Structure 1
Amino acid sequence: MVLQKVKKVPQRKCIACQERDSKKGLIRIVKNKEGEIFLDPTGRANGRGAYICRSSECLQKAIKSKALNRAFKMEVPDEVYEHLLVELKEYE
């Protein structure tokens, strides 16, 4: 009898609503070495990552609670939030 090893599904937590989901179910926001902040749909870009649900409500909640500021240990400019909202619309 051969036992097949069950592959673990990586879990991540949304920084806005604190819900846990599979890594693929959430979308990654990255801050790279140059300080640029952008959505990373592949989940493989270099840099510090924070995960968020694929909904603009969760991004709005993260903006209101300054969750990205805490995740990236910096003040995130409003233009970046606006850009992220526009980008996220493509993945909803």
Structure 2
Amino acid sequence: MKQRKIPLRKCVVSGDMKPKKEMIRIVRSKEGDVAIDPTGKMPGRGAYISIEPKVVQKAWDKQILNRHLEADLTDDFYQELLDYVSHQKARQELFGNDK
């Protein structure tokens, strides 16, 4: 059986290329609203970030997502992202990489 191609994405913080399933997409809509996109299918400009709490913390400290998405992100959004990533990381460790 032919092996399927695994789509890769680049983390905007670390610059690492990883499979799309190991990343989280952050999206900015035309209206300027920024949201976490767990499905990866929301319309708008997207930026991928690794499912690692320390990577999210680095993005928060250096305001990296603000520059990539050209939006002003609040500390509340970064805290929500950090909580989401921590939860997803724990799920991966418990159940493996399959969602």
More helix by share: 2
RMSD value, Cα: 1.8
Q: Which runs of 5+ in 1 are unaligned?
A: none
Question: What does the per-residue CA deviation read over 1:50-88, in whole Å, with 9 as the maximum and x for residues that have no partner?
Answer: 111111111111112221011111222222112212222
> Quick check: which has more Rg, 1 or 2?
1
Q: Could you list the runs of 4 or more consecutive aligned residues of structure 1 that deviate by over 6 angstroms after TM superposition?
A: none
Q: Please, what TM-score do these two structures have when normalized by structure 1?
A: 0.80
**2:32, 2:71 within 8 Å by CA — same for their partners in 1?**
no
Q: Which runs of 5+ in 2 are unaligned?
A: 90-99
Task: Tell me the CA shift for residue 12 of structure 1.
Answer: 0.9
**1:26, 1:52 within 8 Å by CA — same for their partners in 2?**
yes
Say how many residue pairs are matched.
89
Matches within 5 A, 1:1-92: 7-92=4-89
